[in-house]
Amino acid sequence: DLEIVSSSLLSVLQDLHSKYKSLQEGAVANYIPELAKVNPDLFSICIVTVDGQVYEVGDYQQLFTIQSMSKVFAYGLALEDHGRDYVLTRVGVEPTGEAFNSIVLDERSKRPYNPMVNAGAIATTSLIKGEGATERLNRILEMFRRYTGHDVFVDMSIFTSERSTGHRNRAMAHLMLNFGMIDQNIEEALDLYFKQCAVIVNCHDLAVMAATLANKGINPITGERAVDHQYIKDILSVMYTCGMYNFAGEWAYTVGIPAKSGVCGGIFAVVPNQMGIGVFSPPLDARGNSVRGVEVCQALSQQLCLHLFECG
């Protein structure tokens, strides 16, 4: 029961923060050179409930780039732009069982597998409507404004660092162009994808964005609708099955709520009709998920009885 939980929620977060602060495993992402500069000791946990209560501990105002967590919101915008049926013809909803950056495509159905892995996310971002690159970027930034409740900006040094080293993503885009899965202008799509990944947020923002998805698409702090209610189930379903990459199955089993990670070390998780959770700790495990983030979410799920099929 959330009301009973609320009184002690802050102390739950404080205990988890001090317990996992000493966990020193994992390594910060370094394949984007600018990302490697982050302080590995940064650590924050934040919960925002659908009625707007905020509980947060640690470095929750520390800024970082949203990275793959942006994929969830871009998918929502693509659904709003084109509708579910069309988007499904361009990007599947099947987990790959492979790493986030694996070069696998569903050649049979001529689609990338899902919007949570890089290939599918690049294809998804290429669907976002707008007259030219600037308008498309502005529509993405405006979307993030609705989810966070404030204006957001692109970290240009992270963006240029990824653009100049992102050969693997560029290769995927070319492969998708070859198969006719993505339209001609792939450099523009990649630029937009890299910028979307370089949007600056903090752990508090992650929890507010997650709480917005938990709250049927309405930001619980500002009261503004961020995404059409009818797409919440699509967004959360694909997060649940694909959001943690090749850890998605084990995550569904042990944590049991939809979530998305990013190589910045962030994870956000959604407890429908209850709360959004954000965790930030840069060191990653071999699958690219935050080591402390995974531990914190597993512990939180147990302690607050969040698993959808245990407590739902």
Judged by the rule CB under 6 A, the positions of this chain that interact with ligand GLN are 67-68, 100-101, 118, 162, 169, 197, 262-263, 288
Q: How far is the CB of 162 from ligand GLN (least distance, A)?
A: 6
Establish whether 18 is a catalytic residue. Answer: no
Is the distance from CB of 267 to CB of 120 less than 8 angstroms? no
Maximum separation of any 2 CA atoms in the chain, in Å: 56
Let me know if 102 is a catalytic residue. Answer: no
Strands 259-261 and 200-201: unpaired
Nearer Cβ to ligand GLN (68/274):
68
Least Å from the CB of residue 57 to ligand GLN? 24
Rounded Cα gap, residues 104 and 112, in angstroms = 7
Q: Which is nearer to ligand GLN, 155 or 218 (CB)?
A: 155
Residue with smaller CB distance to ligand GLN, 50 or 201: 201
Which of the 8 DSSP states describes residue 155? Answer: -
Q: How far apart are CA 220 and CA 284, in angstroms?
A: 30
Active-site option among 12, 57, 263, 271 = 263
Of 69 and 300, which CB lies nearer to ligand GLN in the complex structure? 69
Distance of alpha carbon 182 from the chain centroid: 22
- The residue (of 37 and 84) whose beta carbon lies closer to ligand GLN is 37
Nearest Cα to Cα of residue 279 among 202, 214, 226: 202
- 37 has catalytic annotation: no
Active-site residue, 263 included: yes
Choice among 38, 48, 60, 68 that is catalytic: 68
Q: Least distance to ligand GLN from the beta carbon of 131, Å?
A: 25
Least Å distance between CB 246 and ligand GLN? 12
Task: Tally DSSP H helices, then E strands, for the chain.
Answer: 12, 7
Please compute, for residue 24, the number of CA atoms within 13 A of its CA located in the half-sphere on the CB side: 1
- Residues 299, 259, 122, 212, CA torsion sign: negative
Q: CB 197 → ligand GLN: shortest distance, Å?
A: 4
In angstroms, how far is the first alpha carbon of the chain from the final one? 11
B/e letters for 85-120, b = 16+ CB within 10 Å, e = fewer, are eebeebbbbebbeeebbbeebbeeeebbbbbbbbbb
User: Which one, 148 or 169, has the nearer CB to ligand GLN?
Assistant: 169
Q: Is there a catalytic annotation at residue 54?
A: no
30-91-141 Cα angle (round to 5): 60
Smallest distance, ligand GLN to C-beta of residue 302, A? 26
The C-alpha atoms of residue 264 and residue 205 are separated, in whole angstroms, by 14
CB count within 10 Å of CB 280 equals 30
Closest approach of Cβ 65 to ligand GLN, in Å? 8
- Closer by beta carbon to ligand GLN, 97 or else 312: 97
* Positions marked catalytic: 68, 71, 193, 245, 263
